[in-house]
Amino acid sequence: MMKLNAAITRRECLRGLSAAALGGLLLPRWAGASLLADQGERRLSFVHTHTGERLSRVYWAEGNYLPEVLNEFNFLMRDFRNGEVMAMDRNLLDLLATLQARLDRPCDFHIISAYRSPQTNNMLRANSNGVAKHSMHLDGKAMDIRVPGVQLANLRDSALDLRAGGVGYYPGSDFVHVDTGRVRSWGG
């Protein structure tokens, strides 16, 4: 039988607090997931700025992603230059739903760029110095967005507050880049 020692030293207490803090670092990397946890369904609305296409759908309901809707989103977020479609990262959709909850309003995300084929990415790199060789757009894990009625700096700040991935700020081009990679930020 183990005997418990009622007297805990200050060092033991600090060691326990350190372990608890470290444990907190091992939790999901973004607390924004809690904003989605209680929702019975998740809806996103998009307008693609290059094609004019609009789509508003519930993509998650009763604890499940809806495959038909994910396919519709994938098509909308295709490389509009060549029509190539890629399965978009579900975590990116959840990041956007969390961002929408953080903005505390339903909104249309205006898509400037979502999936990019290798050919498109290479063409953009050749014509701009702001396009990464191994862009997360190539893997369907990034989107460049704006939200009408939300100041670009506020959109950036809300995305940064999520600590859910990369956030790039491009006020000259009027968009914010969000991705599901490691937490980092640039621009502005």
Kindly tell me if the per-residue pLDDT of 24 is higher than 50: no
Kindly tell me if the per-residue pLDDT of 30 is higher than 70: no
Kindly tell me if the per-residue pLDDT of 1 is higher than 70: no
Q: Which of 58, 64, 63, 54 is nearest to 43 (CA)?
A: 58
Least confident of 41-50, 120-129, 137-146: 120-129
Tell me whether strands 108-113 and 41-48 are parallel, antiparallel or unpaired: parallel
Cα separations in angstroms, 104 against 7, 120, 153, 177: 48, 34, 16, 20
pTM: 0.80
Sort 43 into a burial class: Cβ within 10 Å, 0-12 / 13-18 / 19+: middle
In this prediction, residue 12 has a pLDDT band, given cuts at 50, 70 and 90, of very low
In the chain the domains, ranked by start, together with CATH numbers, are: 31-187 (3.30.1380.10)
Token pair, residue 94, equals 């959840």
What ranges in 60-89 are assigned the alpha helix state H? Answer: 67-76
Q: Which residues of 91-114 are buried (b: 16+ CB within 10 A; e: fewer)?
A: ebbbbbbbbbbbbeeebbbbbbbb
pLDDT tens sequence across 145-155: 999 999 999 99
- pLDDT for res 40: 86
In this prediction, residue 130 has a pLDDT band, given cuts at 50, 70 and 90, of confident
